[in-house]
Amino acid sequence: MKKTLKTLLVSATLTAGLVSGAVQAQERVFFGIATGGTGGTYYPLGGMLAQVISNNGDLEGKKLSATAETGNASVSNAGLLGRGAIESAFVAADVLDAAYNGKNQFKGKAITNLRALGALYPETVQLVAQPGLNRFEDLKGKSVSSGSPGSGQWQLLGDLLTAHGMTRDDIKEDYSSFSQSAEKLKDGNLDASLITAGSPTASIVELSNGHEVSIIPLNGAAIKKLQITQPYYASTRLPAGTYKGIDTDVETLAVRAVWATHAALSEDIAYAVTKALYENIDTLAKVHVKGKEISLETALESVSIPLHPGAERYYREKGIIK
- List pLDDT tens digits, range 267-318: 999 999 999 999 999 988 887 777 888 999 999 988 999 999 999 999 999 9
Q: At what angle do helices 93-101 and 73-82 cross, to 10 degrees?
A: 40
**Which among 235, 246, 227 has a CA at the least distance from the CA of 129?**
246
State residue 322's pLDDT score.
86
The rounded percent of the chain whose pLDDT value lies above 90 is 67
CB of 68 closer than 8 Å to CB of 124 = no
The letter for the amino acid at 207 is L
Q: How many residues does this entry show for the chain?
A: 322
**pLDDT at residue 25 tops 60:** no
Question: What is the per-residue pLDDT across 190-245, written as a single tens digit (0 to 9) for each?
Answer: 999 999 888 888 889 999 999 999 999 999 999 999 998 888 888 999 999 999 99
Separation of alpha carbons 257 and 39, rounded Å: 16
Average pLDDT over the chain reads 88
State residue 26's pLDDT score.
62
The rounded percent of the chain whose pLDDT value lies above 70 is 92
Separation of alpha carbons 105 and 151, rounded Å: 8
Separation of alpha carbons 32 and 37, rounded Å: 16
Q: Which one has a higher pLDDT value, 198 or 127?
A: 127
Question: What is the per-residue pLDDT across 35-79, written as a single tens digit (0 to 9) for each?
Answer: 987 777 788 889 999 999 999 977 888 889 999 998 777 899 999
Structural domains of the chain sorted by starting position, each given as residue range(s) with its CATH number in brackets: 28-121+257-317 (3.40.190.10), 124-255 (3.40.190.10)
State residue 18's pLDDT score.
41
Arithmetic mean of pLDDT, 7-31: 52
Arithmetic mean of pLDDT, 150-170: 92
Arithmetic mean of pLDDT, 78-83: 96
Which residues have C-beta within 8 Å of that of residue 207, sequence separation ≥ 6? 128, 182, 185, 186, 213
CB of 255 closer than 8 Å to CB of 234 = yes
Arithmetic mean of pLDDT, 130-149: 94
Quickly state the pLDDT bin for 1 (edges 50, 70, 90).
Answer: very low
